[in-house]
Every structure is written in structure tokens, then in C-alpha cells.
Amino acid sequence: MPLRHLKTLRDRLQTPRTNATSTPVTFTDAHPHFEVIALGVRSGVADGNLSSYLIRPLGTNEAVLCDAGTLGHGLKRAEAVGALNDIPIMPNSTLSRAGHVLKQTIRAYLISHAHLDHVAGLVLTSPEDTPKPLYALSQTNAILAENLFNNRVWGAMGDKGPKPRIGKYTYHNMEPGQSHTLQDTTMNITAWPLSHASTTSTAFLIQQKGSAILYFGDTQADQPDGPQNLHNLWEAVAPLVQNNTLNTIIIGVTYPDTHPDDALCGQLRPKDLLTSLRELGHICGGRHHIRGLRVIISHVKETFHDGECPTRQIYRDLQDGNDIGVHFLMAEQSARYLV
């Protein structure tokens, strides 16, 4: 495996751990550029561990939060296990480290879509937050302003929607495929639409100083008679994969391969992701371009059923079908990934 992909902890990468009380594992490249802290990694039904990823260029006190299903609880849990310890904080601050990260380090939110498992933490933590921009496609921002921050479900925290408005959050509508410089940061972001059941989701490419990471909101596989959103996204990012600018992807695989086609609800299974990644390899000019690509698997659906942990089942399905040399990691709450 190329040096750029793994440095240590090889044995611990082979099988995902599910013990919620264990200390976070750090996965690191030989020359990492970004720190990713998983504040929440699952889909329903557990409400304290929902999609939310803090992404910070190393050596800076600036970060973005990709989705915010779990926010305040995720920060407190990350602080308790030491996952926030490398983030610089102001000396003599009266804030806890988690409070500092919320109020000063997180500079913007990237919201893929307005489903509750991606925005609940943003809503609940908003009274304690500082003013920030919300970056999303226009459809998503409209739903947040009209149906969530609307003085009926919650206070009008944004600068659009029903009056009176608190105006703490500034809605920034993104145009697909157009790069934006994130306010008060050195990062650039680009958004692409994704198909997700009856709504539009989003993938965000985050770039800083010649390195990139790609975050996916919920997505379904491209359908022959539908939009080819994944294909279009792969074509856009293929040059970054070819030149090793992009080597880490965060994407949801919600159900195991045994889950029926007619009950996917706009989500992916391992076989769906593997098919799509093979297409990325083809677009790049050969599978050798994606060999060693790190793919962090998020958004596994919790269950009330007895039996095998769905995270382990999905991991096994991915490994059994992995004929392309991709390096899969199962996301763990409070874990740090240096990529």
C-alpha cells in the first residue's frame, strides 16, 4: 500500500470497533493535510450519533462542519475522549474545549440536505452558537428557512424566512460545480447535487493548499432512467484522484447487501458503492488510479433487531467485493482521521 495512505495501526484498521466507550483511534497518512473528527456517524435510530463531520486543515484553528445531525453532544463526547486536544484554543478562555470549537473553530456549516438526521444538532445547539454561514444548495436552504428555522418548529435563526428573524445564520446558496471560498477560512468548497429518494442531497469537495477531501450526503445509485449525478461527480473529481490531490472520501452505506431494492429509501448498499467506485476507476483511466483510495463509511442504519451488528456486516460485504484495492474504514464516533 502506498506510503501516502497508511502509516500505523494496520491491525486495528482491519475490523471496525463498536465499543462506544473506547478512546478514539487515529488513522493517519504519512503526510496528512486534514483532520477529520467524527462527531456523529450513524443514520437512525440512535439520536446521539447522527451524521456530523468536523474537517480542519492541520495547523489551523479553522474548520467546517459537514452536516450536523449530532453537534453539541458530539463535541462534548469528543472532548471527553481527547479527540479535540490538537485544536488550538485561546489561552485563559472560560469556555470548555468543546465550547471553543463550537464558537470559534467551526467557521461554517455545509448542509447536504434537510433531513433531521443531518440537521437536528444544528437546531438544538443554535442558541449557544455564534453567527456563521450556512452553505447549501438553494433547495436545502429554502427548506431550512421555511420549514425548520421558521418561528414554529424553531426560532428563525437565519437571515431569510418568516419574520421576526434572529439572523444568526447567513444562508449561502451554492451553484453546482462552482467553487466558493469559505468565509473567514483558507478553504474552497464546491457542491454537486445527489439523488436521494424524493429530495436533493449534496456532495461537498473541500480544498485547501493543493489537498482535497470529498464528503457525501445521502445518495442513491444512479438509475438508468434517472439523473446521473454520481457519474457527473466522478467526472468532475477524476483529475484530482489521478494526481493524488483527492485521496479521501466520506460516504454513506446505510444497509447491507441483503437489503431489498424496493426498501432502500435513496441509500446505498456495499455492492452499490463498489459498482460506483469501479466507474470512478474507469473514468480515471484504470483501477490503478483508485487503488489505496481511502473511503470512510458513514450513515449505517441502527436497528432494534437482534443479530450481527450492521456495521460489521456492511464492512464484510465491502471487503468481500473489494476487487479494486480501495481502503475502507468504518466511521466511529469521536474518532480522528488524519488524511
Question: Residue 265's pLDDT is what?
Answer: 93
> Is the pLDDT confidence value at 282 over 90?
yes
In a domain, 16, yes or no: no
Bridge partner residues of 246 (DSSP): 212
Say whether pTM exceeds 0.85.
yes
pLDDT in tens, 186-240: 999 999 999 999 999 999 999 999 999 999 999 999 999 999 999 999 999 999 9
User: The domain spanning residue 64 has which CATH number?
Assistant: 3.60.15.10
In a domain, 118, yes or no: yes
> Is the pLDDT confidence value at 35 over 80?
yes
pLDDT in tens, 135-189: 999 999 999 999 999 999 999 999 999 999 999 999 999 999 999 999 889 999 9
Distant-in-sequence contacts of 278-284, Cβ < 8 A, 24+ apart: 278/324, 279/230, 279/231, 279/234, 280/234, 280/238, 280/241, 281/324, 283/231, 283/234, 283/235, 283/238, 284/238, 284/241, 284/242
Q: Which residue has the cell 453546482?
A: 176
In a domain, 9, yes or no: no
Label residue 25 by pLDDT band (50, 70, 90). Answer: low
Give me the chain's average pLDDT, please.
92
Q: Give the phi and the psi of residue 64 in degrees, each rounded to 5.
A: -115, 155
Domain count, the chain: 1
Closest C-alpha among 255, 213, 198, 272 to residue 42:
255
Task: Name every residue whose Cβ is closer than 8 Å to that of residue 280 and which is 6 or more positions away in sequence.
Answer: 234, 238, 241, 290
In a domain, 10, yes or no: no
pLDDT in tens, 64-83: 999 999 999 999 999 999 99
Closest C-alpha among 219, 231, 312, 201 to residue 265:
219
- Domain span at residue 234 reads 21-338
Task: Name every residue whose Cβ is closer than 8 Å to that of residue 67 and which is 6 or more positions away in sequence.
Answer: 51, 52, 53, 110, 111, 112, 118, 119, 215, 217
In a domain, 27, yes or no: yes
In a domain, 132, yes or no: yes
In a domain, 8, yes or no: no
